Structure 1
Amino acid sequence: MHSVTHSVLLIILIFRRTNGDSVNQTEGPVTVSEGALLTLNCTYQTASLAPYLFWYVQHLNKAPQLLLKGLTADRKVEHEGFQATHVKRDSSFHLQKQAVQASDSAVYYCALRFTGTGKLTFGDGTALTVKPKVKDPNPTVYQLRSPQSSDTSVCLFTDFDSNQVNMEKIMGSEGSTVHKTNSTVLNMEILGSKSNGIVTWGNTSDAGCEYTFNETIPFASSLEISCNAKLVEKSFETDINLNSQNLSVIVFRILLLKVVGFNLLMTLRLWSS
């Protein structure tokens, strides 16, 4: 029992305050938008004449990893877009990044180490959440239905405002069973933007497509938001004419390759003779 207690005390001394040293950093949680400038302040107090400063990052369900280390005073260090300068006269080691990404969401720790020792004094940590830069125009619903059966369907909801629409209230017609994925961010690379998205599926023809925005957006009618998926996109059924055109193009390409190959073969035979 005593050995366990001593171990806990040792860990506390190493990771919080060692010989009167302390580290203060930006209090969290901190929330910023994707692409914004990030600054996390870090100041320290120590009796050491040449302290070493560090920044550690801990992503969800992962162990802390070293991000930056400032071994020389007044010299900027950089890694993966992050940068910090150990300013000795201000006893500071502020962390910056010009344009944060959603993947930068994590807990950041500023740490101090004595010269010649391996003891670290950590700050309390700053929890950072980076909100994706999402385009929020009027919501759109796309519905995929089987042409052979109207008993099942899949719906894709895009471009809805996550602050205005409660996608937890997705519902179908009476007596239907609707399943849904968690809300996610769709990367619309072709359009150069991002959008909120969620997928639902169920055992009826609407699967929550038709009534969702009526139930989740106050005064939806005044916003002129289409709540009927059938008016937006009936289905993603295969276009027979388009398939025929694709098949024709493939056939013409094969014939062209054969003609080119035949001409090449005849030319080689003439040269060899």
Structure 2
Amino acid sequence: MHSVTHSVLLIILIFRGTNGDSVNQTEGPVTVSEGALLTLNCTYQTADFDPYIFWYIQHLNKAPQLLLKGSMSDQNPKSKGFQATLVKSDSSFHLQKQAVQASDSAVYYCALREAGNYKYVFGAGTRLQVLTKVKDPNPTVYQLRSPQSSDTSVCLFTDFDSNQVNMEKIMGSEGSTVHKTNSTVLNMEILGSKSNGIVTCGNTSDAGCEYTFNETIPFASSLEISCNAKLVEKSFETDINLNSQNLSVIVFRILLLKVVGFNLLMTLRLWSS
């Protein structure tokens, strides 16, 4: 049922409404920092006296989902921290959120549907990017190297200021092969903070770890943030404490089996006598 609904919605996105109905919303991509106030404007035109107005949200590689629905009977809908007010006098249904989060990055569509039918008219869509707010950024690279081979390493780049850091510098030495993930957000709840992170692996001993952040990151010049990464090197070594715990568990299991076996043997002897 959901797949059919999503397919119908995608078709509606392509074939806009006619009969003079129209929807206009904030144009172009919108970039804001995490925790900032968000406002996406939406105005509409229709001859219908009591239309339904919607906001849809579409995350990357996901189908659009209904976020808010406004009508004359419900002019101030709220959902997931978002809210909108349907103002009949100026035909507006602006979307707002007091403090956006990184997870709010998506494409937002404002839509109109006349009462009594299922003809939707969609706006062009507004792409929102929310930049993670890292407090006192101190870029660090954690590198794991294999003790058996100096040509293998895995790196975690973390605590840099923006999702838009140019990671093309992670190239390693000439002739090496380095694979890297997309930038993601690390939610470190224990420390009460969030951080940007990228993981790389490659067949080179440096993997570009020491030189990636030696230049100023985008937007940092105006904030006077130094961005020289600290390199923390580790090797793929066996965890002694973990092995000791595993060994202790095995010993206790053996003792338990011996006790159970001894009790079973004594019970059988008593029964036989």
2:163–2:183: 8 Å Cα contact kept in structure 1? no
1:69-99 Cα shifts (integer Å, max 9, x gaps): 2233463223333322322233222222333
- The residue that corresponds to 1:15 in the other structure is 16
1:143–1:236: 8 Å Cα contact kept in structure 2? no
Q: How many aligned positions are there?
A: 248
1:78–1:84: 8 Å Cα contact kept in structure 2? yes
Partner secondary structure for residue 68 of structure 1: strand
Report the AA paired with residue 15 of structure 1.
R
Percent identity among equivalent residues? 69
Partner secondary structure for residue 15 of structure 1: coil
Q: CA deviation at 1:254?
A: 6.1
Residues 1:179 and 2:178 aligned together: yes
State the alpha-carbon separation in 1 of the partners of residues 107 and 82 from structure 2: 14
Partner secondary structure for residue 157 of structure 1: strand
Structure 2 residues not aligned, in runs of 5+: 1-11, 218-224, 261-273
Report the AA paired with residue 68 of structure 1.
L
- The residue that corresponds to 1:76 in the other structure is 76
State the alpha-carbon separation in 2 of the partners of residues 244 and 52 from structure 1: 63
Partner secondary structure for residue 206 of structure 1: coil
- The residue that corresponds to 1:242 in the other structure is 241
2:134–2:160: 8 Å Cα contact kept in structure 1? no
2:111–2:122: 8 Å Cα contact kept in structure 1? yes
Partner secondary structure for residue 93 of structure 1: strand
- The residue that corresponds to 2:168 in the other structure is 168
1:200-241 Cα shifts (integer Å, max 9, x gaps): 333333232334344x459xxx959456x4xx33425234x5
State the alpha-carbon separation in 2 of the partners of residues 59 and 101 from structure 1: 13
Superposed, 1:223-242 pairs within 5 Å as 225=228, 229=231, 232-239=232-239, 241-242=240-241
1:172–1:210: 8 Å Cα contact kept in structure 2? no
In structure 2, the CA distance between the partners of 1:247 and 1:59, relative to structure 1 (3 Å rule), is: closer
Partner secondary structure for residue 143 of structure 1: strand
Superposed, 1:1-40 pairs within 5 Å as 15-19=16-20, 21-40=21-40
The CA RMSD over aligned residues, in Å, is 3.9
Superposed, 1:179-258 pairs within 5 Å as 179-185=178-184, 186-214=186-214, 216-217=215-216, 225=228, 229=231, 232-239=232-239, 241-243=240-242, 245-246=244-245, 250=249
1:9-59 Cα shifts (integer Å, max 9, x gaps): xx899725423x333322232222233332222223333322222223333
State the alpha-carbon separation in 1 of the partners of residues 65 and 226 from structure 2: 48
Larger radius of gyration: 1
- The residue that corresponds to 2:44 in the other structure is 44
State the alpha-carbon separation in 2 of the partners of residues 93 and 210 from structure 1: 50
1:140-172 Cα shifts (integer Å, max 9, x gaps): 122212223323222222222347953211233
- The residue that corresponds to 2:8 in the other structure is none
In structure 2, the CA distance between the partners of 1:41 and 1:195, relative to structure 1 (3 Å rule), is: same
TM-score when normalising by structure 2: 0.70
State the alpha-carbon separation in 2 of the partners of residues 171 and 69 from structure 1: 48
Report the AA paired with residue 181 of structure 2.
N
Residues 1:154 and 2:151 aligned together: no
Superposed, 1:79-118 pairs within 5 Å as 79-118=79-118
In structure 2, the CA distance between the partners of 1:235 and 1:123, relative to structure 1 (3 Å rule), is: same
Structure 1 residues not aligned, in runs of 5+: 1-10, 262-273
- The residue that corresponds to 2:130 in the other structure is 130
TM-score when normalising by structure 1: 0.70
Report the AA paired with residue 19 of structure 2.
T
